[in-house]
Amino acid sequence: MMTFDQNAFLIIFTASLIAISCGLLGVFMMLRKMSMTGDAISHAVLPGIVIGFFISGSQRGLEVIIGAGILGIFATLIIDWLRQKARVQLDASIGITFTLLFAVGIILINLLAYKVDLDQECVLYGEIAYLPIDLWISDSGFNFGPRITYLAILNVTLVVAFITLLFKELTLTSFDENFSSVIGIPSKGINLALMSMVSYTTVSSFEAVGAILVVALLVVPPSTAFLWTKKLMPLIRLTCGLGIFIAISGYYLAYLVDSSIAGMMVAVSGILFLASVLINGKKPKFTWELPWNKSRLALEDKQL
């Protein structure tokens, strides 16, 4: 049986991995002015989760991940179409898309309620305190440990590999989408790839921490880090550091006051952001430092 220290380590370690995954993706979402697209995706994937659950009969099935990923890409395409073709403002297109698809998901849950044991609460809310008892046990009876921890390790590995392989492309398309298209980088393809990774990260983290904390980790640490640095690599490192700090402090504060761990982590992230605004709220000029060469492009007039 696991002791308190072991449980605490597993919860903090898993939450830190999820925070790093969300933070890394959140940096590029923020630079593209698409931070709340993560919130839209976290709601828009509900129909895909329901259909995947109906097919597999389990929240842990691969069909759930695939269904959510397809719906995440579909939501991205709708948002982009409304913004570019229908000339709808980005915030309005996000609101229209996620409310429409979320409503479709709720309708599907109600229609399939007699066939599957699934409701909105088990899909959208998670409690990381249950992580130590959600074990991965083989057919032979061997206990590998918490299942969610392995998913978090896989997730952070995929996210780091994705950003490492496409770092230059992600950076250029975040800086200037039109310029990246001119030099031959498929900006729309890179954007879809990023949204697909956000969809996967969101869905894979639902069970552990819930949608609210996933959205908070996508948005708040990058936004907080942006108040302290305007260079890309320090921004990424500080975002990851803040995510780890939120996981550690959120856990122990929740333990002290006997409250929800995920809820306390969201509260800590909000307090950090507000404190950063009060201390260092005045934005200096933004300097984009390209990591693959020595040049710097000053974007003094670019509002991020």
Q: Tokens 């894979």 belong to which residue?
A: 204
- Per-residue model confidence (pLDDT) at position 44: 79
Q: How far apart are CA 27 and CA 205, in angstroms?
A: 18
Q: Give the model confidence (pLDDT) of 53-92 as tens digits.
A: 777 766 666 677 778 778 877 887 888 788 777 777 777 8
Whether 171 shows a pLDDT value over 90: the answer reads no
Look at residue 113 and give its three-state secondary structure.
Answer: coil
The answer for residues whose C-beta is within 8 angstroms of residue 231's C-beta and 6 or more apart is 287, 288, 289
Residue 266's domain comprises: 4-298
- Per-residue model confidence (pLDDT) at position 191: 82
Within a domain: 304? no
Within a domain: 229? yes
CB 246 within 8 A of CB 275: no
Q: At 41, list the tokens.
A: 């995706």
HSE of 245, CA atoms in CB hemisphere, 13 A: 16
Q: What is the pTM of this model?
A: 0.81
Q: What angle do CA 17, 196, 241 make, to 5 degrees?
A: 25
**What percent of the chain shows pLDDT beyond 70?**
80
Q: At 228, list the tokens.
A: 């302290």
Q: What is the average pLDDT value for the chain, to the nearest integer?
A: 78
- Number of domains, the chain: 1
Evaluated on CA atoms 59, 64, 69, 74, the torsion sign reads: negative
Within a domain: 223? yes
- The pair phi, psi for residue 255, each rounded to 5°, is -65, -40
Burial 158-175 (b: 16+ CB within 10 A, else e): ebeebbeebeebbbbbbb
Q: Lowest mean pLDDT: which of 36-50, 222-236, 273-287?
A: 273-287
Within a domain: 303? no
Domain CATH number, residue 201: 1.10.3470.10
Within a domain: 250? yes
Give mean pLDDT, residues 158-178: 87
Whether 122 shows a pLDDT value over 60: the answer reads no
Q: How far apart are CA 77 and CA 159, in angstroms?
A: 21
Residue 189's alpha-carbon distances to 30, 75, 111, 161, 164, in angstroms, are 18, 15, 35, 17, 17
Within a domain: 152? yes
